[in-house]
Structure 1
Amino acid sequence: MNTLYPIFLKTEQLDFLIVGGGNVAYEKLFFILKSSPQTKATVVAPFIREEVRALANNYAVELVEGIYNPDYLKGRHIVIATTDNPAVNRQVYEDARAKQLLVNVADTPELCDLYLGGIVTKGNLKIAISTNGKSPTVAKRLRQLFENIFPEDMDKLLQNLHRYRSTLKLSFEQKVDRMNALTQELIKSDD
Protein backbone atom coordinates (compact mmCIF):
# COMPACT_ATOMS: atom_id res chain seq x y z
CA MET A 1 0.00 0.00 0.00
CA ASN A 2 1.31 3.45 -0.93
CA THR A 3 0.76 5.80 2.00
CA LEU A 4 3.33 8.43 1.09
CA TYR A 5 2.20 12.04 0.88
CA PRO A 6 4.22 14.13 -1.59
CA ILE A 7 5.16 17.58 -0.36
CA PHE A 8 7.35 20.35 -1.68
CA LEU A 9 9.68 21.92 0.87
CA LYS A 10 11.27 25.35 0.79
CA THR A 11 14.67 23.80 1.41
CA GLU A 12 16.45 27.15 1.38
CA GLN A 13 14.74 27.72 4.75
CA LEU A 14 15.96 24.39 6.16
CA ASP A 15 19.29 23.05 7.36
CA PHE A 16 20.43 19.64 6.12
CA LEU A 17 22.99 17.28 7.60
CA ILE A 18 24.48 14.61 5.36
CA VAL A 19 26.46 11.94 7.14
CA GLY A 20 28.89 10.35 4.70
CA GLY A 21 31.12 11.79 2.03
CA GLY A 22 31.10 9.22 -0.77
CA ASN A 23 29.23 8.68 -4.01
CA VAL A 24 25.79 8.38 -2.41
CA ALA A 25 26.34 11.58 -0.41
CA TYR A 26 27.35 13.31 -3.64
CA GLU A 27 24.22 12.12 -5.44
CA LYS A 28 21.88 13.21 -2.63
CA LEU A 29 23.60 16.58 -2.28
CA PHE A 30 23.72 17.15 -6.04
CA PHE A 31 19.99 16.66 -6.52
CA ILE A 32 19.04 18.72 -3.47
CA LEU A 33 21.18 21.61 -4.72
CA LYS A 34 20.01 21.18 -8.31
CA SER A 35 16.45 21.61 -7.12
CA SER A 36 17.18 24.36 -4.61
CA PRO A 37 20.66 25.93 -4.92
CA GLN A 38 20.27 28.07 -1.77
CA THR A 39 19.90 25.02 0.49
CA LYS A 40 22.18 25.11 3.51
CA ALA A 41 23.88 21.78 4.21
CA THR A 42 26.68 20.26 6.22
CA VAL A 43 28.49 17.09 5.17
CA VAL A 44 30.29 15.19 7.91
CA ALA A 45 32.53 12.19 7.17
CA PRO A 46 36.02 10.97 7.94
CA PHE A 47 36.70 10.96 4.18
CA ILE A 48 35.06 13.31 1.67
CA ARG A 49 35.33 12.58 -2.07
CA GLU A 50 36.67 15.27 -4.38
CA GLU A 51 33.34 15.44 -6.22
CA VAL A 52 31.60 16.35 -2.95
CA ARG A 53 34.28 18.97 -2.24
CA ALA A 54 33.92 20.51 -5.68
CA LEU A 55 30.13 20.68 -5.30
CA ALA A 56 30.42 22.18 -1.82
CA ASN A 57 32.73 24.94 -3.09
CA ASN A 58 29.93 26.30 -5.28
CA TYR A 59 27.14 26.27 -2.69
CA ALA A 60 26.39 26.93 0.99
CA VAL A 61 27.77 23.56 2.02
CA GLU A 62 30.03 23.13 5.01
CA LEU A 63 32.41 20.16 5.00
CA VAL A 64 33.45 18.56 8.28
CA GLU A 65 36.10 15.87 8.17
CA GLY A 66 35.42 13.74 11.19
CA ILE A 67 33.29 10.96 12.56
CA TYR A 68 29.60 11.42 13.21
CA ASN A 69 28.37 12.35 16.67
CA PRO A 70 24.90 13.49 17.77
CA ASP A 71 26.11 17.07 18.36
CA TYR A 72 26.00 17.56 14.58
CA LEU A 73 22.19 17.29 14.74
CA LYS A 74 21.82 20.56 16.60
CA GLY A 75 19.96 23.13 14.50
CA ARG A 76 19.18 20.67 11.68
CA HIS A 77 15.83 19.96 10.10
CA ILE A 78 16.58 17.02 7.81
CA VAL A 79 19.27 14.37 8.20
CA ILE A 80 20.51 12.04 5.47
CA ALA A 81 22.76 9.08 6.30
CA THR A 82 24.80 7.76 3.38
CA THR A 83 27.63 5.82 4.96
CA ASP A 84 28.54 2.26 4.03
CA ASN A 85 28.40 1.34 7.72
CA PRO A 86 24.93 0.04 8.73
CA ALA A 87 25.64 0.59 12.44
CA VAL A 88 26.50 4.27 11.88
CA ASN A 89 23.45 4.73 9.66
CA ARG A 90 21.19 3.18 12.31
CA GLN A 91 22.74 5.38 15.02
CA VAL A 92 22.12 8.48 12.87
CA TYR A 93 18.51 7.37 12.40
CA GLU A 94 17.94 6.74 16.12
CA ASP A 95 19.59 10.02 17.16
CA ALA A 96 17.62 12.01 14.60
CA ARG A 97 14.31 10.39 15.56
CA ALA A 98 15.01 11.07 19.26
CA LYS A 99 15.25 14.76 18.33
CA GLN A 100 12.14 14.53 16.12
CA LEU A 101 14.12 15.32 12.98
CA LEU A 102 13.20 13.97 9.57
CA VAL A 103 15.71 11.37 8.44
CA ASN A 104 16.56 9.42 5.31
CA VAL A 105 18.95 6.48 5.47
CA ALA A 106 20.06 5.74 1.92
CA ASP A 107 18.96 2.39 0.56
CA THR A 108 17.22 1.46 3.83
CA PRO A 109 13.50 2.26 3.44
CA GLU A 110 12.58 1.05 6.93
CA LEU A 111 14.89 3.74 8.36
CA CYS A 112 13.36 6.62 6.41
CA ASP A 113 10.81 9.26 7.29
CA LEU A 114 11.12 10.59 3.76
CA TYR A 115 12.41 9.51 0.41
CA LEU A 116 14.33 11.73 -1.96
CA GLY A 117 12.50 10.81 -5.15
CA GLY A 118 13.18 11.65 -8.74
CA ILE A 119 12.48 15.30 -9.56
CA VAL A 120 11.73 16.79 -12.95
CA THR A 121 12.25 20.54 -13.16
CA LYS A 122 11.34 22.68 -16.14
CA GLY A 123 11.37 26.28 -14.92
CA ASN A 124 8.52 26.63 -12.42
CA LEU A 125 7.18 23.16 -13.20
CA LYS A 126 8.38 20.58 -10.72
CA ILE A 127 7.25 16.95 -10.70
CA ALA A 128 8.26 14.56 -7.94
CA ILE A 129 8.40 10.82 -8.61
CA SER A 130 8.37 8.13 -5.96
CA THR A 131 8.31 4.35 -6.08
CA ASN A 132 7.56 4.13 -2.35
CA GLY A 133 11.20 3.23 -1.77
CA LYS A 134 10.87 0.08 -3.89
CA SER A 135 13.01 1.06 -6.87
CA PRO A 136 14.97 4.33 -6.96
CA THR A 137 16.25 3.23 -10.38
CA VAL A 138 12.72 3.29 -11.83
CA ALA A 139 12.17 6.77 -10.34
CA LYS A 140 15.43 7.87 -11.98
CA ARG A 141 14.39 6.47 -15.38
CA LEU A 142 10.94 8.09 -15.15
CA ARG A 143 12.61 11.39 -14.27
CA GLN A 144 14.77 11.10 -17.38
CA LEU A 145 11.72 10.25 -19.50
CA PHE A 146 9.73 13.25 -18.25
CA GLU A 147 12.71 15.56 -18.68
CA ASN A 148 12.72 14.57 -22.35
CA ILE A 149 8.93 14.82 -22.78
CA PHE A 150 8.39 18.30 -21.34
CA PRO A 151 9.71 21.11 -23.55
CA GLU A 152 12.35 23.50 -22.25
CA ASP A 153 9.97 26.42 -22.79
CA MET A 154 7.37 24.95 -20.42
CA ASP A 155 8.07 27.89 -18.14
CA LYS A 156 6.87 30.30 -20.82
CA LEU A 157 3.45 28.60 -20.77
CA LEU A 158 3.33 28.74 -16.96
CA GLN A 159 4.29 32.42 -16.92
CA ASN A 160 1.61 33.26 -19.51
CA LEU A 161 -1.06 31.35 -17.58
CA HIS A 162 0.01 33.08 -14.37
CA ARG A 163 -0.26 36.52 -15.98
CA TYR A 164 -3.66 35.69 -17.43
CA ARG A 165 -4.92 34.33 -14.09
CA SER A 166 -3.83 37.51 -12.30
CA THR A 167 -5.95 39.62 -14.69
CA LEU A 168 -9.14 37.72 -13.89
CA LYS A 169 -11.45 39.69 -11.63
CA LEU A 170 -13.53 36.70 -10.55
CA SER A 171 -14.21 34.70 -7.39
CA PHE A 172 -11.82 31.90 -6.55
CA GLU A 173 -14.23 29.23 -7.86
CA GLN A 174 -14.78 31.17 -11.09
CA LYS A 175 -11.01 31.53 -11.59
CA VAL A 176 -10.58 27.79 -11.10
CA ASP A 177 -13.34 27.06 -13.62
CA ARG A 178 -11.85 29.48 -16.18
CA MET A 179 -8.31 28.11 -15.76
CA ASN A 180 -9.59 24.51 -15.96
CA ALA A 181 -11.37 25.27 -19.22
CA LEU A 182 -8.30 27.03 -20.63
CA THR A 183 -5.87 24.25 -19.73
CA GLN A 184 -8.15 21.36 -20.76
CA GLU A 185 -6.34 21.35 -24.12
CA LEU A 186 -3.16 20.17 -22.40
CA ILE A 187 -4.65 16.72 -21.77
CA LYS A 188 -6.67 16.17 -24.93
CA SER A 189 -5.42 13.35 -27.11
CA ASP A 190 -5.44 13.25 -30.90
CA ASP A 191 -7.71 10.16 -31.01
Structure 2
Amino acid sequence: MFPEVQGGGSLIVAWQIRGKRVVIVGGGEVAAGRILNCLDADARVTVVAPTSGLNPEVAYRVSQKQVEHIDRLFEPSDIDGADMVLTAVDDPEASTRIWKLCKEKRIPVNIADVPPECDFYFGSVHRDGPLQIMVSTNGKGPRLARAIRKYIAQLLPRQAGAAIESVGELRVKLRRIAPGPENGPKRMAWMTKVSDAYSFDELCSLTDEDVDNLLRYYALGSVPQLDVLLAMRGNPDLSKIDVFDGSFGFSVGA
Protein backbone atom coordinates (compact mmCIF):
# COMPACT_ATOMS: atom_id res chain seq x y z
CA MET A 1 0.00 0.00 0.00
CA PHE A 2 2.85 2.35 0.78
CA PRO A 3 6.18 2.97 -1.02
CA GLU A 4 9.01 0.70 0.01
CA VAL A 5 11.97 2.37 1.70
CA GLN A 6 15.07 2.40 -0.54
CA GLY A 7 18.05 3.16 1.66
CA GLY A 8 21.37 4.44 0.40
CA GLY A 9 20.04 7.50 -1.38
CA SER A 10 20.52 11.22 -0.82
CA LEU A 11 17.96 13.86 0.04
CA ILE A 12 17.83 15.86 -3.20
CA VAL A 13 16.92 19.47 -2.47
CA ALA A 14 17.22 22.85 -4.18
CA TRP A 15 19.67 24.70 -1.94
CA GLN A 16 19.02 28.44 -1.95
CA ILE A 17 22.45 30.10 -1.68
CA ARG A 18 21.55 33.54 -3.07
CA GLY A 19 23.77 36.05 -1.30
CA LYS A 20 25.56 33.32 0.70
CA ARG A 21 29.36 33.20 0.91
CA VAL A 22 30.84 30.16 -0.81
CA VAL A 23 34.58 29.50 -0.58
CA ILE A 24 36.07 27.43 -3.40
CA VAL A 25 39.60 26.12 -2.92
CA GLY A 26 41.31 25.47 -6.23
CA GLY A 27 41.35 27.03 -9.67
CA GLY A 28 41.31 24.21 -12.19
CA GLU A 29 38.66 22.70 -14.45
CA VAL A 30 36.61 21.18 -11.61
CA ALA A 31 36.71 24.46 -9.70
CA ALA A 32 35.52 26.29 -12.82
CA GLY A 33 32.39 24.13 -12.95
CA ARG A 34 31.73 24.64 -9.24
CA ILE A 35 32.17 28.40 -9.61
CA LEU A 36 29.67 28.60 -12.46
CA ASN A 37 27.13 26.53 -10.52
CA CYS A 38 27.40 28.87 -7.54
CA LEU A 39 27.27 32.05 -9.64
CA ASP A 40 24.18 30.72 -11.40
CA ALA A 41 22.63 30.42 -7.92
CA ASP A 42 23.58 34.06 -7.14
CA ALA A 43 26.08 33.17 -4.43
CA ARG A 44 29.01 35.36 -3.35
CA VAL A 45 32.03 33.31 -4.42
CA THR A 46 35.55 33.49 -3.05
CA VAL A 47 38.25 31.53 -4.90
CA VAL A 48 41.40 30.57 -3.01
CA ALA A 49 44.23 29.60 -5.37
CA PRO A 50 47.51 31.05 -6.66
CA THR A 51 47.10 32.93 -9.94
CA SER A 52 49.55 30.49 -11.55
CA GLY A 53 47.04 27.67 -10.90
CA LEU A 54 43.99 29.30 -12.47
CA ASN A 55 42.65 27.79 -15.67
CA PRO A 56 41.41 30.20 -18.40
CA GLU A 57 37.77 30.14 -17.28
CA VAL A 58 38.55 30.81 -13.62
CA ALA A 59 41.03 33.52 -14.61
CA TYR A 60 38.24 35.12 -16.67
CA ARG A 61 35.84 35.09 -13.70
CA VAL A 62 38.53 36.76 -11.61
CA SER A 63 39.34 39.40 -14.25
CA GLN A 64 35.64 40.21 -14.62
CA LYS A 65 35.33 40.52 -10.83
CA GLN A 66 32.59 37.91 -10.82
CA VAL A 67 34.37 36.32 -7.87
CA GLU A 68 36.66 37.44 -5.06
CA HIS A 69 40.15 36.02 -5.49
CA ILE A 70 42.66 35.20 -2.76
CA ASP A 71 45.97 34.75 -4.59
CA ARG A 72 47.72 32.13 -2.47
CA LEU A 73 47.37 28.64 -1.03
CA PHE A 74 44.56 27.96 1.42
CA GLU A 75 44.79 29.11 5.04
CA PRO A 76 42.30 28.16 7.79
CA SER A 77 41.08 31.75 8.20
CA ASP A 78 39.80 31.69 4.60
CA ILE A 79 36.63 29.87 5.66
CA ASP A 80 35.73 32.24 8.49
CA GLY A 81 32.16 33.38 7.83
CA ALA A 82 31.67 30.90 4.99
CA ASP A 83 28.25 29.31 4.43
CA MET A 84 29.65 26.57 2.20
CA VAL A 85 33.10 25.28 1.24
CA LEU A 86 34.07 23.41 -1.92
CA THR A 87 37.53 22.01 -2.60
CA ALA A 88 38.91 21.04 -5.99
CA VAL A 89 42.65 20.51 -5.54
CA ASP A 90 44.97 17.63 -6.41
CA ASP A 91 46.16 17.24 -2.82
CA PRO A 92 44.26 14.60 -0.79
CA GLU A 93 45.97 15.49 2.48
CA ALA A 94 45.20 19.19 2.13
CA SER A 95 41.60 18.39 1.19
CA THR A 96 41.17 16.18 4.25
CA ARG A 97 42.53 18.95 6.49
CA ILE A 98 39.98 21.36 5.04
CA TRP A 99 37.22 18.78 5.51
CA LYS A 100 38.11 18.32 9.19
CA LEU A 101 38.28 22.07 9.69
CA CYS A 102 34.82 22.48 8.18
CA LYS A 103 33.48 19.71 10.42
CA GLU A 104 34.81 21.59 13.47
CA LYS A 105 33.16 24.80 12.33
CA ARG A 106 29.93 23.06 11.18
CA ILE A 107 30.27 24.37 7.62
CA PRO A 108 28.77 22.22 4.82
CA VAL A 109 31.61 21.01 2.60
CA ASN A 110 32.16 19.08 -0.63
CA ILE A 111 35.56 17.52 -1.31
CA ALA A 112 35.79 16.82 -5.04
CA ASP A 113 36.12 13.12 -5.92
CA VAL A 114 36.06 12.02 -2.25
CA PRO A 115 32.43 10.98 -1.53
CA PRO A 116 33.05 10.02 2.15
CA GLU A 117 34.19 13.60 2.79
CA CYS A 118 31.14 15.27 1.29
CA ASP A 119 28.07 16.61 3.06
CA PHE A 120 26.42 16.88 -0.36
CA TYR A 121 27.08 15.92 -3.98
CA PHE A 122 26.89 17.82 -7.23
CA GLY A 123 24.69 16.09 -9.78
CA SER A 124 24.64 16.55 -13.53
CA VAL A 125 22.25 19.43 -14.23
CA HIS A 126 20.21 20.38 -17.28
CA ARG A 127 19.31 24.09 -17.27
CA ASP A 128 16.72 25.84 -19.42
CA GLY A 129 15.80 29.18 -17.86
CA PRO A 130 13.90 28.42 -14.64
CA LEU A 131 13.93 24.68 -15.37
CA GLN A 132 16.64 22.69 -13.60
CA ILE A 133 16.82 18.90 -13.71
CA MET A 134 19.50 17.17 -11.67
CA VAL A 135 20.62 13.58 -12.10
CA SER A 136 22.57 12.07 -9.21
CA THR A 137 24.27 8.69 -8.92
CA ASN A 138 25.16 9.44 -5.27
CA GLY A 139 28.82 9.73 -6.17
CA LYS A 140 29.01 6.32 -7.84
CA GLY A 141 29.09 7.29 -11.53
CA PRO A 142 29.43 11.01 -12.40
CA ARG A 143 30.01 10.32 -16.11
CA LEU A 144 26.96 8.06 -16.25
CA ALA A 145 24.91 10.83 -14.61
CA ARG A 146 26.01 13.16 -17.40
CA ALA A 147 24.89 10.68 -20.06
CA ILE A 148 21.50 10.23 -18.38
CA ARG A 149 21.07 14.00 -18.10
CA LYS A 150 21.74 14.45 -21.82
CA TYR A 151 19.25 11.70 -22.63
CA ILE A 152 16.53 13.36 -20.55
CA ALA A 153 17.26 16.78 -22.06
CA GLN A 154 16.79 15.40 -25.58
CA LEU A 155 13.28 14.22 -24.65
CA LEU A 156 12.12 17.65 -23.45
CA PRO A 157 10.20 20.07 -25.72
CA ARG A 158 12.29 22.92 -27.09
CA GLN A 159 10.27 25.53 -25.21
CA ALA A 160 10.26 23.76 -21.83
CA GLY A 161 11.86 26.69 -20.02
CA ALA A 162 9.54 29.16 -21.73
CA ALA A 163 6.52 27.12 -20.62
CA ILE A 164 7.60 27.40 -17.02
CA GLU A 165 8.14 31.14 -17.44
CA SER A 166 4.58 31.41 -18.79
CA VAL A 167 3.13 29.50 -15.85
CA GLY A 168 5.18 31.65 -13.47
CA GLU A 169 3.88 34.81 -15.13
CA LEU A 170 0.35 33.45 -14.85
CA ARG A 171 0.81 32.98 -11.11
CA VAL A 172 2.17 36.53 -10.71
CA LYS A 173 -0.73 38.07 -12.63
CA LEU A 174 -3.23 35.91 -10.76
CA ARG A 175 -1.96 37.27 -7.45
CA ARG A 176 -2.51 40.78 -8.76
CA ILE A 177 -6.15 40.22 -9.61
CA ALA A 178 -6.85 38.03 -6.55
CA PRO A 179 -4.49 39.24 -3.81
CA GLY A 180 -4.68 38.32 -0.17
CA PRO A 181 -4.26 35.05 1.75
CA GLU A 182 -8.02 34.47 1.77
CA ASN A 183 -7.82 33.85 -2.00
CA GLY A 184 -4.96 31.39 -1.65
CA PRO A 185 -7.00 28.15 -1.76
CA LYS A 186 -8.97 29.29 -4.81
CA ARG A 187 -5.78 30.40 -6.61
CA MET A 188 -4.10 27.06 -5.91
CA ALA A 189 -7.15 25.07 -7.01
CA TRP A 190 -7.42 27.02 -10.26
CA MET A 191 -3.71 26.72 -11.04
CA THR A 192 -4.04 22.96 -10.52
CA LYS A 193 -6.86 22.91 -13.07
CA VAL A 194 -4.67 24.83 -15.54
CA SER A 195 -1.81 22.37 -15.11
CA ASP A 196 -4.16 19.41 -15.55
CA ALA A 197 -6.04 20.88 -18.53
CA TYR A 198 -3.08 21.13 -20.90
CA SER A 199 -0.27 18.80 -21.82
CA PHE A 200 3.27 20.03 -21.31
CA ASP A 201 3.65 20.48 -25.07
CA GLU A 202 0.53 22.66 -25.06
CA LEU A 203 1.83 24.73 -22.17
CA CYS A 204 5.02 25.25 -24.17
CA SER A 205 2.97 26.82 -26.96
CA LEU A 206 1.21 29.45 -24.83
CA THR A 207 1.97 33.11 -25.55
CA ASP A 208 1.69 36.17 -23.29
CA GLU A 209 -1.66 36.91 -24.94
CA ASP A 210 -2.84 33.38 -24.12
CA VAL A 211 -1.89 33.89 -20.48
CA ASP A 212 -3.88 37.14 -20.29
CA ASN A 213 -6.90 35.49 -21.94
CA LEU A 214 -6.64 32.51 -19.63
CA LEU A 215 -6.90 34.78 -16.59
CA ARG A 216 -10.38 35.80 -17.74
CA TYR A 217 -11.61 32.39 -16.65
CA TYR A 218 -10.34 32.58 -13.08
CA ALA A 219 -13.50 34.21 -11.69
CA LEU A 220 -15.50 31.24 -12.98
CA GLY A 221 -13.07 28.70 -11.59
CA SER A 222 -12.91 27.10 -15.03
CA VAL A 223 -10.27 26.58 -17.72
CA PRO A 224 -11.00 26.79 -21.47
CA GLN A 225 -10.10 24.08 -23.91
CA LEU A 226 -6.98 24.83 -25.90
CA ASP A 227 -8.87 25.42 -29.16
CA VAL A 228 -11.00 28.08 -27.44
CA LEU A 229 -7.90 29.77 -26.04
CA LEU A 230 -6.24 29.75 -29.47
CA ALA A 231 -9.38 31.22 -31.07
CA MET A 232 -9.08 34.19 -28.73
CA ARG A 233 -5.70 35.19 -30.17
CA GLY A 234 -5.85 38.52 -31.95
CA ASN A 235 -9.63 38.62 -31.66
CA PRO A 236 -10.68 42.00 -30.27
CA ASP A 237 -14.37 41.07 -30.44
CA LEU A 238 -14.46 38.24 -27.94
CA SER A 239 -18.26 37.94 -28.21
CA LYS A 240 -17.76 36.17 -31.54
CA ILE A 241 -16.18 33.21 -29.80
CA ASP A 242 -18.75 30.44 -29.44
CA VAL A 243 -18.91 30.45 -25.64
CA PHE A 244 -20.48 32.62 -22.96
CA ASP A 245 -19.88 33.18 -19.28
CA GLY A 246 -21.79 36.39 -18.61
CA SER A 247 -19.17 37.90 -16.31
CA PHE A 248 -16.72 39.23 -18.87
CA GLY A 249 -19.09 40.00 -21.74
CA PHE A 250 -17.97 37.18 -24.01
CA SER A 251 -19.00 33.60 -24.74
CA VAL A 252 -17.43 30.73 -22.86
CA GLY A 253 -18.51 27.12 -23.11
CA ALA A 254 -21.85 25.62 -24.09
Normalised by the length of structure 1, the TM-score is 0.83
Q: 1: distance between equivalents of 2:13 and 2:55?
A: 31
- Larger mean CA deviation between 65-74 and 153-162 belongs to 153-162
Q: Per-residue deviation at 1:164?
A: 4.3
Q: 2: distance between equivalents of 1:179 and 1:8?
A: 25
* Structure 2 counterparts to residues 1-191 of structure 1, below 5 A: 1-33=7-39, 35-36=40-41, 38-46=42-50, 47-58=53-64, 60-165=66-171, 166=174, 171=186, 174-175=189-190, 177-183=192-198, 185-186=199-200
1:98-124 CA-to-partner distances (Å, cap 9, x unmatched) read 111110000000000011111111111
- Larger mean CA deviation between 22-31 and 129-138 belongs to 22-31
Q: 2: distance between equivalents of 1:10 and 1:139?
A: 22
Q: 2: distance between equivalents of 1:151 and 1:58?
A: 34
Q: 2: distance between equivalents of 1:83 and 1:101?
A: 18
1:31-86 CA-to-partner distances (Å, cap 9, x unmatched) read 333x33x3211111233233311133335311212121110011111101111110
Contact preservation (8 Å) 2:38, 2:45: no
Return the letter of the residue paired with 2:116: E
> Percent identical across equivalent pairs?
24
- Larger mean CA deviation between 159-168 and 9-18 belongs to 159-168
Q: 2: distance between equivalents of 1:177 and 1:50?
A: 47
Long gaps (5+) in structure 2: 1-6, 202-254
Q: 1: distance between equivalents of 2:28 and 2:169?
A: 44
Aligned to 2:18, the other structure's residue is in SS state: helix
Say what the alpha-carbon RMSD is for the aligned residues: 2.4
Aligned pair in 2 of structure 1 residues 172, 4: CA closer, same or farther (>3 Å)?
farther
Aligned to 2:197, the other structure's residue is in SS state: helix
Return the letter of the residue paired with 1:178: K
Contact preservation (8 Å) 1:22, 1:49: yes
Long gaps (5+) in structure 1: none
Q: 2: distance between equivalents of 1:135 and 1:19?
A: 23
Aligned pair in 2 of structure 1 residues 103, 72: CA closer, same or farther (>3 Å)?
same
Q: Per-residue deviation at 1:151?
A: 3.5
Q: 1: distance between equivalents of 2:114 and 2:131?
A: 29
- Larger mean CA deviation between 128-137 and 39-48 belongs to 39-48
Higher relative contact order (Cα pairs below 8 Å, separated by 6+ residues): 1
**Higher alpha-carbon Rg:** 2
